[in-house]
């Protein structure tokens, strides 16, 4: 066929008209737009009936009441519970991220045992049998005291069950991680005697002298503290913050006084000297002073004169004098110990010296003051059934006063004095100074059992992992602690059925004891942890279930308080940062990064500043005045006596020249790609240093050098 | 059909002296609105945070350094003269983002958005985020997603909605109870209720009984120096970000500290001293 001009045009016009009229084009466009809007891989959350349930968060010592929104029983959002005596509607980011912990990729999904350095799942029965067999050997060998237990905290019925277990087993070696509460109990013990703790009525105080306590950086019960700070200006309450770095708390304070790192104890002693010299202490309260008050007075006057303290701390003598006098003359002053979150490596001298300021002010057991409270006694465990083996073992001397001291013992002996170890809700292989040393000590312990929800650093170093339900999946009593003025016990309830094959930690202890059989099983005659909880909290169980919480003490602690100055009168030595390098490295507690258990959630890591973490690079803060040839954002090598790591530099005018700051809680190596392998764990750069009087690691900071990489 | 007769103008005021920078607002927002997360979130340009907390400093050397934090949700701009021509709304070719004249809320309809990102370029506050990837939750974690907000997909823009679903729920509740008034407490955003410091106050700027109105005291008259600016605060401690652009944000900030207020906009040398007392529109008092 011949294609002439006419037929060509005709065909062309026909084709154009055909395409224009044909529905194919429109249909294809329509299909295309529908196709581009099909996202079968994007989840469509199922709708359903909305309900709200209440429980108590126990991710941190804060013990906040929370409200859980559910859709057909499926929790979708956590919010603050209002009213609740701790947090009154407030909540923090970690509590909200509680739902992420439920489905966290590093959750341990069933009991595991280590075979050839790999974990294989086993059944609960096998796990209990195996653990009981290994622990039973210790009792058969008449060495029950070679079992040690490390727990994250010391209060509540679950730590109570672990202690009950240790007593029935026959070992005195029950240790807790150094949280703020443990430091407060130690301080109260040193100055006032056994079974006391300290609470601070910062809601009413009109003058808060904080020795680095990060009141809005996670100290104490974080939400309660932030709320108290939120109303502080309206109440015309003054906050003076003393620390080497402009923390968020310092930034919000009325006055920030920079201090040479690690000299807080000397400053507090110097301030005591000022109050005593100027006769600014409360004579009424001083009638309860004993154990060398006169010796203490003479000692601080002699050893802590203003000029000397000014030299040590780097604060001018007039500032020290003025601040001490302002503190003493305030109506309701409170001095707060505990740098940052107040946990980890602190020191007893500092806590005691700071609390002595409270004692001298006389504002103790008064509104707006410091409460010397008896430890809550709402739990009544039956006496453990102890056979002769247990009695002998339990009567032996404890191996150590702290986890670090225990590690030192193991480190120094050829064969580990600890033959088996139970770890519950603690991650010493990450959270304590020099974790590699702790892991090395763990390797010398023949049998380690980790009772945890997550495959964290300590779980990975264990032989058996017994997975426990998270706080959203279990019932438990949650006593408030960490410096709160009121004592509140909350009841946390399961919001959802356990997502994985996990059990309540109480049931785990009972399970091990029953598998051990004999007298051990007799001490644990409960059918389940829930039955145990009901029995041991019998005194408050009714209201606890009805209201969800019980306020044990709201009123001021009654009775006079004796104060013993014996410890401080001896002028214990201040633990100095190790090494001779030019800078001092301090850990920074950042609200968005939890430092211990559990590891940060994906949401928490997501909102960490890109001047703390960039990719996997860790930033350190340094004052530009002392940065020499370093560049802002540039790479550098940070060296301490404990090790050396590559870092990047962040210039911060708000840190003292000569000080390097590194955020604590990053650098995890657990099995969670959203959290793991990011940054550096600052603990790897600090070697522990045991304070002789407390047996605790007191290495808060360390000398460091930094050079351009 | 629910008819809401009264025109609301929802907005918030954030007290920067109370803000602790803890980040709870940001996480509460992500949890409420099904915001995803990915392995590396340290490139903040592609890290989806409807509520982002900025750190401000006065740039003075040690020891006079001061720090403050500034949470930044979508500013829900009313546009020039507050007529609803928000910078993003005016450029959207798909009407995927629109101004709600009944609420003052700038919407975002994910299924309409085709990802041209004009709105992101137009937004002076970097409040909009693009989904460069499909959201992926670790196995099982999608169980915590809320049905009130649809998860987004690759290729669309998203931003803070002032928790619009909470407004819808409050409106339905009011309708069911036979009232056309939404009580202040019934509609509060997730960041507001979560803030442990009580730094965020949310409500109807048009309603004199709402706390946000009482704090902001919005000026009903245009700014005599710049008629594009409407609703300026008559509280001298309250300011808006880049206020002189005339975008008329409904998010106000409050601070006692002059250096913080000064950071709300860019000023030439000496300019701040001239304008600082004009702010607060004393002329209309």
Are the Cβ atoms of A96 and B26 closer than 8 angstroms? no
Helix axes A317-329, A348-361, angle to 10 degrees: 50
Which tokens sit at A108?
């341990």
Residues 644-673 of A with CB under 8 A from B: 652-657, 673
Q: Is-contact A626 A593, C-beta < 8 A?
A: no
* Interior angle at CA A419, CA A415 and CA A421, nearest 5: 130
What pLDDT was estimated at residue B284? 42
A603–B193: do the CB atoms touch at under 8 Å?
no
Q: How many CB atoms lie within 10 A of CB A610?
A: 16
DSSP label of A384 = P
> Quick check: B134 and A92 CB within 8 A?
no
Who's near B131: CB < 8 A, 6+ residues apart?
B48, B115, B152, B153, B154, B155, B156, B157, B158
pLDDT at A286: 86
| Residue (of A301, A358, A305) closest to A330 by Cα position | A358
Q: Cβ A45–B111 below 8 Å, yes or no?
A: no
Q: How would you classify the pairing of strands A420-424 and A447-452?
A: parallel
The residue in chain B having the minimum alpha-carbon distance to the alpha carbon of residue A82 is B193
- A45–B145 C-beta distance less than 8 A: yes
**Nearest chain B CA: its distance from A357 CA (Å):** 26
Query: Which residue stretches of chain A have pLDDT < 70?
Result: 1, 37, 559
3-class secondary structure, A355: helix
Each residue of A113-132: b (16+ CB within 10 Å) or e? beeeeebeebebeebbebbb
Q: Give the per-residue pLDDT at B279.
A: 56
Residue numbers of A between 158 and 187 with CB closer than 8 Å to B: none
| A575 and A689 Cβ atoms separated by less than 8 Å | yes
> Which residues in chain A are contacts of B53 at CB distance < 8 A?
607
The answer to whether the Cα torsion of A627, A631, A634, A637 is positive or negative is: negative
A390 contact B CB<8A: no
CA–CA separation, A418 vs A441, rounded Å? Answer: 10
DSSP string, chain B: -----SPP-EEEEEETTT-----HHHHHHHHHTT----S----TTS---SSEEEEEE--PPTTS--EEEEEE------BGGGSSB-HHHHH-TT--S-B-TTT-PBP--TTT-----HHHHH-TT---EE--S---PPTTGGGG--TTSPPP-TT-EE---SSHHHHHHHHHHHHHTT-S---GGGS--HHHHH-TT--EEEEETT-TTSHHHHHH-B-SSEETTEEEEES-BSSTTEE-TTGGG----SEEEE-S-HHHHHTTS---TTHHHHHTTTTT-GGG-
* Nearest by CB: B22 against A69, A93, A103: A93
DSSP-derived letter for residue A260 is -
Residues of B in contact with A42 (CB under 8 A): 134-135, 151-153
User: Positive or negative, the Cα torsion across A535, A539, A545, A551?
Assistant: negative
- B274 falls in which pLDDT band (50, 70, 90)? confident
Q: What is the pLDDT of residue B276?
A: 76
Report the interhelical angle of A180-192 vs A348-361 (nearest 10°).
60
Closest CA to A624 of B65, B161, B168: B65
Residue B262: HSE in the Cβ half-sphere, 13 Å Cα cutoff: 16
Residue B282 has pLDDT above 80, yes or no: no
Name chain A contacts of B28, Cβ cutoff 8 Å.
Answer: 79, 91, 93, 96
Q: Phi, psi (5° rounding) for residue B107?
A: -90, 170
| A positions 301-340 inside 8 Å of B (CB) | none
- Do A252 and B17 make contact, defined as CB atoms within 8 angstroms? yes
For chains A and B, count residue pairs whose Cβ atoms are closer than 8 Å: 184
How far lies A600's CA from each of A314, A325, A595, A603, in Å?
Answer: 35, 42, 8, 8
Cβ neighbours of residue A230 closer than 8 Å, sequence gap 6 or more:
B18, B196, B197, B198, B199
- Cβ-nearest to B62 among A89, A100, A623: A623
Q: Which residues of B touch A48 (CB under 8 A)?
A: 147
Q: Which residues pair with B157 in a beta bridge?
A: B130
SS (H, E, C) A554-593: CCCCCCCCCEECHHHHCCCCCCCCECCCCEEEEEECCCCC
Q: Is A683 on the interface with B (CB under 8 A)?
A: no
From B43, B65, B146, residue closest to A653, measured CB to CB: B65
User: Cβ of A96 and B24 within 8 Å?
Assistant: yes
The confidence score (pLDDT) of residue B4 equals 52
Tell me if A75 sits within 8 A of A68, measured CB to CB: yes
Contacts A673 to B, Cβ<8 Å: 39
The answer to whether the CB atoms of A223 and B196 lie below 8 A apart is yes
Does A91 lie at the interface with B, CB-CB under 8 angstroms? yes
Cβ-Cβ contacts under 8 Å, A657 against chain B = 62
Residue of B14, B16, B23, B112 to mutate, testing the A interface (most A Cβ within 10 Å of its Cβ): B23
**B62 and A71: CB-CB below 8 Å?**
no
User: Which residue, among A662, A495, A644, has the nearest Cα to A65 in the 3D structure?
Assistant: A495
Alpha carbon of B152: minimum distance to chain A alpha carbons (Å): 7
CA–CA gap between residue A119 and residue A103 (Å, rounded):
20
Q: Which A residues 572-601 touch B at CB under 8 Å?
A: 591-592
Within 10 A of A444 (CB to CB), how many other CB atoms are there?
15
């Amino acid at each position: 066929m011949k294609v002439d001009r006419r037929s060509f045009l005709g065909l062309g016009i026909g084709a154009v008209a055909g395409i224009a009229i044909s529905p194919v084009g429109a249909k294809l466009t329509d299909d295309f737009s529908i196709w581009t809007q099909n996202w079968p891989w994007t989840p469509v959350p199922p709708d359903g009936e909305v309900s709200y349930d209440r429980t108590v968060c126990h991710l941190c010592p804060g013990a906040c009441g929370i409200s859980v929104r559910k859709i057909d029983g499926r929790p979708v959002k956590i919010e603050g519970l209002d009213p609740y005596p701790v947090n009154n509607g407030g909540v923090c980011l970690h509590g909200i991220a509680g739902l992420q912990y439920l489905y966290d990729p590093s959750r341990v999904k069933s009991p595991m045992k280590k075979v050839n350095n790999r974990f294989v799942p086993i059944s609960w029965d096998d796990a209990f049998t195996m653990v009981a067999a290994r622990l039973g050997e210790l009792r058969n060998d008449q060495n029950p005291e070679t079992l040690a237990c490390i727990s994250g905290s010391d209060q509540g019925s679950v730590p109570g069950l672990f202690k009950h277990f240790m007593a029935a087993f026959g070992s005195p070696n029950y240790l807790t991680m150094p949280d703020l509460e443990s430091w407060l109990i130690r301080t109260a013990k040193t100055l006032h005697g056994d079974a006391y703790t300290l609470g601070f009525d910062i809601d009413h105080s009109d003058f808060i002298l904080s020795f680095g306590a990060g009141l809005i950086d996670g100290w104490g019960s974080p939400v309660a503290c932030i709320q108290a700070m939120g109303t502080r200006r309206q109440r015309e309450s003054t906050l003076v913050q003393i620390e080497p770095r402009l923390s968020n708390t310092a930034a919000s304070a009325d006055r920030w006084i920079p201090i040479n790192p690690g000299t807080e104890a000397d400053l507090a002693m110097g301030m005591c000297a000022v109050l005593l010299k100027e006769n600014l202490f409360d004579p009424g309260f001083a009638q309860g002073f004993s154990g060398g008050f006169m010796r203490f007075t003479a000692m601080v006057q002699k050893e802590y004169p203003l000029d000397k303290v000014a030299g040590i701390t780097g604060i001018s003598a007039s500032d020290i004098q003025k601040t001490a006098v302002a503190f003493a003359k305030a109506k309701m002053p409170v001095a707060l110990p505990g740098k940052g979150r107040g946990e980890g490596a602190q020191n007893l001298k500092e806590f005691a010296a700071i609390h002595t300021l409270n004692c001298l002010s006389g504002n103790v057991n008064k509104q707006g003051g410091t409460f010397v409270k008896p430890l809550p006694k709402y739990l009544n465990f039956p006496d453990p059934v102890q056979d002769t083996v247990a009695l002998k073992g339990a009567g032996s001397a404890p191996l150590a006063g702290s986890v670090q001291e225990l590690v030192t013992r193991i480190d120094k002996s050829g064969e580990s004095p600890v033959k088996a170890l139970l770890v519950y809700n603690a991650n010493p292989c990450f959270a304590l100074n020099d974790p590699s040393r702790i892991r090395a000590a763990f390797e010398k312990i023949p049998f380690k059992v980790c009772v945890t929800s997550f495959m964290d650093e300590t779980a990975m170093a264990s032989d058996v992992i017994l997975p426990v339900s998270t706080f959203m999946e279990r019932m438990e009593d949650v006593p408030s602690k960490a410096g709160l003025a009121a004592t509140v016990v909350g009841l946390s309830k399961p919001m959802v059925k356990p997502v994985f094959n996990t059990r309540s930690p109480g049931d785990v202890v009972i399970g091990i004891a029953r598998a051990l059989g004999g007298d051990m099983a007799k001490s644990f005659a409960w059918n389940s942890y829930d039955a145990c909880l009901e029995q041991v909290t019998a005194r408050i169980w009714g209201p606890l279930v009805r209201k969800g919480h019980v306020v044990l003490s709201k009123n001021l602690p009654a009775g006079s308080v004796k104060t013993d100055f014996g410890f401080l009168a001896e002028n214990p030595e201040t633990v100095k940062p190790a090494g001779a390098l030019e800078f001092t490295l301090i850990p920074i507690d950042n609200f968005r990064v939890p430092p211990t258990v559990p590891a940060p959630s994906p949401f928490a890591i997501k909102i960490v500043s890109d001047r703390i973490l960039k990719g996997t690079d860790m930033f350190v803060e340094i004052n530009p005045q002392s940065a020499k040839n370093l560049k802002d954002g540039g790479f550098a090598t940070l060296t301490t006596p404990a090790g050396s790591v590559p870092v990047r530099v962040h210039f911060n005018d708000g840190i003292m020249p000569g000080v390097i700051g590194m955020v604590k809680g990053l650098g995890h190596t657990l099995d969670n790609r959203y959290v793991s392998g990011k940054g550096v764990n600052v603990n790897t750069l600090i070697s522990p240093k045991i304070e002789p009087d407390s047996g605790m690691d007191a290495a808060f900071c360390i000398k460091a050098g930094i050079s351009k990489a | 059909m629910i008819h809401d007769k009264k025109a609301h103008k929802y907005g918030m005021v954030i007290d920067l002296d109370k803000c602790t920078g803890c980040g709870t607002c940001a996480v509460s927002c992500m949890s409420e609105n099904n915001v995803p997360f990915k392995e590396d979130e340290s490139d903040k340009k592609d890290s989806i945070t409807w509520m982002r907390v900025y750190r401000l400093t006065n740039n003075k050397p040690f020891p006079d350094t001061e720090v403050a934090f500034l949470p930044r949700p979508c500013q829900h701009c009313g546009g020039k003269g507050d007529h609803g021509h928000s910078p993003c709304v005016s450029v959207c070719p798909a009407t995927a983002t629109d101004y709600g004249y009944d609420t003052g809320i700038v919407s975002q309809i994910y299924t309409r958005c085709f990802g041209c990102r004009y709105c992101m370029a137009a937004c002076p506050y970097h409040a909009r985020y693009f989904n460069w990837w499909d959201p992926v939750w670790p196995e099982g974690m999608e169980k915590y997603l809320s049905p009130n907000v649809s998860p987004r997909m690759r290729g669309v823009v998203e931003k803070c909605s002032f928790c619009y679903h909470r407004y819808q729920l409050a409106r339905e509740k009011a309708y069911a109870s036979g009232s056309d008034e939404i009580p202040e407490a019934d509609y509060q955003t997730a960041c507001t209720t979560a803030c442990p410091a009580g730094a965020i106050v949310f409500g109807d700027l048009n309603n004199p009984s709402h706390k946000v109105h009482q704090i902001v005291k919005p000026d009903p008259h245009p700014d005599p120096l710049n008629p594009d600016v409407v609703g300026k605060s008559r509280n001298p401690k309250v300011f808006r970000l880049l206020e002189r652009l005339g975008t008329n944000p409904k998010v106000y900030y409050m601070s006692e500290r002059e250096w913080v207020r000064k950071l709300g906009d860019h000023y030439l040398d000496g300019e701040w001293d001239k304008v600082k007392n004009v702010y607060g529109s004393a002329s209309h008092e």
